[in-house]
């Protein structure tokens, strides 16, 4: 969450049982090097003490509406104006109703009226209250204010019912907050991302695969979602959790990935082929486990589907981004792949070093587009590289749109 670094975040805590989760939200924001100011409703203080949140945020908690601080500024105006983003979590039915009506009868609602910063609202309540027409109308009103309303999670509720209404985890809320602070330069764009390895079966318990963790593809998908894109991920087997806000299609083999990508390419504006697809598979997979013996086992291999080539043939006017994992001649091999596959952009990274490439948090890449523009990323996190790649995609989309208008 690089974008949260050094940001001033106002966390408004409503009076619901999920208020206990605000402690973890504060802790995570502070870990991101954000400055956190907490404001609480009177009801919220019945669920978690201001002292707890003050200790975690290292700042006094705002709870009194008619307070004047040491420099004689009205408290709710000060905290509303000295913030980069507002997160309302949990947002109870009562708090949502008062905010939608424009009321200013406590510190939280007054601050919401006084702020011009982006506002993220995370509803949390009984599922019947959530789906009452009044609550749905009030949430729609908040959307017309420009507030970003987070879909509640589903599960067991404190009231004993099961359904929608749970406050999402802190990771999801921080992602929503980061999205609210991110320029929406991919708003409405449909992005298709492949990620992870493929596994080609040798027998029911063994397969051919590679070291891809899926982190790079997921970083690109997450960054595209934060920038406003509608994202679909086709993922080989990874240990990563599905990304909030993105549709994830699980696949296992190169053939399955090829089919899934072909099925969805026509509904996409940008295709980013990050997956490390196995180049070869056993010509015949044994139906039963191959038992260990003194005899040698010889595997006869055949080529798998060239997923990227197939996408290039069906691309139309879509932007196509490919990856090249190389152990030598990085630039030369990248240029050959860029031309042979007809790509708009190639991202070439040297693999094999301990601090970059497969199964680590960092990467280093050379970006080359079809016009010959090149950029070296240096050693960066995969999240940072994801934004560099999407910056190039935004630029190429702008060039493409200008060319269409000119034609």
Taking only the tens place, the pLDDT of each residue in 131-151 is: 999 999 999 999 999 999 999
Co-location of 319 and 389 in the same domain: yes
51 assigned to some structural domain: yes
122 assigned to some structural domain: yes
User: Mean pLDDT lowest for which of 64-68, 359-363, 376-380?
Assistant: 64-68
For residue 73, name the pLDDT band (cuts at 50, 70, 90). Answer: low
Co-location of 138 and 201 in the same domain: no
Structural domain range at position 55: 2-180
Q: Which of 150, 180, 210 is the last residue of a domain?
A: 180
Co-location of 240 and 120 in the same domain: no
Distance CA 34, CA 322 (A): 35
CATH of the domain at 163: 3.40.50.1950
In 3D, which of 204, 233, 234, 239 has the Cα closest to residue 221? 233
Q: Which of 180, 211, 233 is the last residue of a domain?
A: 180
Co-location of 244 and 175 in the same domain: no
Give pLDDT tens digits for 177-236. Answer: 999 999 999 999 999 999 999 999 999 999 999 989 999 999 999 999 999 999 999 999
185 assigned to some structural domain: no
Co-location of 268 and 195 in the same domain: yes
Active site residue 159: yes
375 assigned to some structural domain: yes
267 assigned to some structural domain: yes
Q: Give residue 52's Cα distance to chain centre.
A: 29
Co-location of 170 and 197 in the same domain: no
What backbone torsions phi and psi does residue 257 show, to the nearest 5 degrees? Answer: -65, -40
Task: Give the global pTM.
Answer: 0.90
Co-location of 176 and 237 in the same domain: no
Q: Exposed, middle or buried by CB within 10 Å (0-12, 13-18, 19+), for 375?
A: middle
Query: What are the CA-CA distances from residue 190 to residues 271, 345, 396 (Å)?
Result: 9, 17, 15
| Mean model confidence pLDDT for the chain | 92
For residue 270, name the pLDDT band (cuts at 50, 70, 90). Answer: very high
Marked catalytic residue, from 12, 159, 189, 199: 159
Co-location of 314 and 213 in the same domain: yes
Co-location of 247 and 160 in the same domain: no
26 assigned to some structural domain: yes
Give pLDDT tens digits for 96-118. Answer: 999 999 999 999 999 999 999 99
Number of domains in the chain: 2
Co-location of 28 and 133 in the same domain: yes
Here the contacts of 77-83 (C-beta below 8 Å, separation 24 or greater) are: 77/114, 79/10, 79/37, 79/39, 79/111, 80/10, 80/110, 80/111, 80/112, 80/113, 80/114, 80/115, 80/117, 81/114, 81/115, 81/116, 82/8, 82/37, 83/8, 83/9, 83/10, 83/37, 83/115, 83/117
For residue 326, name the pLDDT band (cuts at 50, 70, 90). Answer: confident
Co-location of 25 and 123 in the same domain: yes
Query: What are the CA-CA distances from residue 113 to residues 36, 77, 78, 301, 391 (Å)?
Result: 19, 9, 12, 66, 34
Q: Which of 134, 154, 180 is the last residue of a domain?
A: 180
Co-location of 146 and 232 in the same domain: no
Give pLDDT tens digits for 15-46. Answer: 999 999 999 999 999 999 999 999 999 999 99
289 assigned to some structural domain: yes
């Amino acid at each position: 969450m690089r974008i949260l670094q050094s940001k001033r975040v106002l966390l408004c805590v409503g009076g619901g049982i999920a208020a206990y989760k605000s402690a973890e939200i504060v802790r995570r924001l502070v870990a991101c090097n954000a400055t956190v100011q907490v404001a609480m409703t009177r009801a919220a203080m019945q669920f978690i003490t201001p002292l707890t949140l003050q200790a975690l945020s290292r700042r006094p908690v705002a709870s009194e509406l008619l307070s004047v601080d040491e420099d004689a500024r009205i408290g709710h105006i000060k905290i509303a104006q000295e913030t980069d983003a507002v997160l309302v979590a949990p947002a109870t039915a009562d708090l949502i109703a008062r905010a939608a009506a424009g009321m200013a009868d406590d510190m939280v609602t007054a601050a919401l009226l006084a702020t011009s910063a982006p506002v993220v609202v995370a509803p949390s309540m009984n599922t019947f209250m959530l789906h009452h027409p009044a609550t749905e109308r009030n949430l729609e009103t908040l959307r017309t204010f420009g507030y970003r309303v987070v879909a509640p999670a589903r599960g067991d509720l404190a009231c004993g019912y099961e359904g929608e209404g749970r406050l999402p985890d802190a990771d999801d809320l921080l992602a929503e907050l980061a999205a609210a602070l991110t320029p929406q330069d991919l708003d409405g764009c449909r992005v298709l991302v492949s990620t992870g390895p493929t596994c080609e079966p040798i027998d029911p318990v063994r397969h051919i695969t590679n070291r891809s963790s899926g982190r790079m593809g997921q970083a690109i998908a997450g960054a595209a979602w934060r920038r406003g894109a509608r994202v679909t991920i086709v993922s080989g087997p990874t240990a990563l959790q599905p990304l909030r806000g993105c549709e994830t299609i699980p696949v296992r083999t190169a053939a399955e990935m090829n089919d899934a990508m072909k099925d969805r390419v026509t509904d996409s504006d940008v295709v980013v082929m990050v997956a490390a697809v196995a180049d070869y598979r056993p010509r015949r997979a044994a139906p039963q486990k191959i038992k260990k013996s003194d005899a040698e086992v010889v595997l006869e291999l055949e080529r798998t589907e060239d997923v990227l080539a197939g996408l290039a043939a069906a691309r139309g006017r879509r932007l196509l981004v490919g990856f090249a994992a190389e152990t030598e001649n990085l630039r030369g091999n990248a240029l050959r792949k860029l031309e042979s596959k007809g790509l708009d952009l190639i991202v070439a990274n040297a693999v094999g070093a301990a601090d970059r490439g497969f199964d680590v948090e960092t990467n280093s890449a050379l970006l080359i587009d079809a016009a010959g523009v090149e950029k070296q990323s240096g050693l960066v996190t995969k999240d940072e590289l994801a934004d560099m790649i999407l910056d190039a995609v935004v630029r190429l989309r702008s060039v493409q749109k200008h060319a269409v208008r000119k034609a």
